[in-house]
Amino acid sequence: GNSVTQMEGPVTLSEEAFLTINCTYTATGYPSLFWYVQYPGEGLQLLLKATKADDKGSNKGFEATYRKETTSFHLEKGSVQVSDSAVYFCAPDSGGSNYKLTFGKGTLLTVNP
């Protein structure tokens, strides 16, 4: 089955710092790739996605590029804000089964003013 390895947290940054959260995956077929974000006390929200190799997903200043050759989908943001403090989850789907997401353990990001 699929698996995901995410950068171990917690990650603590100062406001306006550059963010990278690494994510590599193993999957059969050609999965779509997703980043979800979970703010304190809330459910998961889709942050961005990419459906095929070399696609770049972007939203709210976050970006991630689907790298098939390295099976990676690293999340980046040029300038983080305090409001970005949350847990970030990388998740490939199961190719033909877009509902069967495999989530990593999550990376806790804390941004200090």
Partner 1 sequence: NAGVMQNPRHLVRRRGQEARLRCSPMKGHSHVYWYRQLPEEGLKFMVYLQKENIIDESGMPKERFSAEFPKEGPSILRIQQVVRGDSAAYFCASSPRTVTGNTIYFGEGSWLTVV
50: tokens are 């990419």
Instruction: Give the x/- contact pattern for partner 1 in 42-81, rule: CB under 8 A.
Output: xxxxx--x-x------------------------------
Report the residue number, 84 or 93, with the smaller CB distance to partner 1: 93
Q: How far apart are CA 112 and CA 14, in angstroms?
A: 5
Applying the rule CB under 8 A, the residues between 92 and 111 that interact with partner 1 are 93, 95-106
φ, ψ of residue 84 in degrees (nearest 5): -85, -5
Judged by CB under 8 A, the number of residues near partner 1 is: 26
Report the residue number, 36 or 111, with the smaller CB distance to partner 1: 36
Report the residue number, 65 or 102, with the smaller CB distance to partner 1: 102
Report the residue number, 99 or 113, with the smaller CB distance to partner 1: 99
Q: How far apart are CA 42 and CA 6, in angstroms?
A: 21
Neighbour tally for 89: CB within 10 Å: 23
Q: At closest approach, how far in Å is the CB of 79 from partner 1?
A: 26
Going through the chain in order, the beta strands assigned E by DSSP cover 3-6, 11-14, 19-21, 23-26, 33-38, 44-50, 56-59, 62-65, 75-77, 86-92, 107-112
Interacting residues with partner 1 (CB under 8 A) = 4, 32, 34, 36, 42-46, 49, 51, 89, 91, 93, 95-106
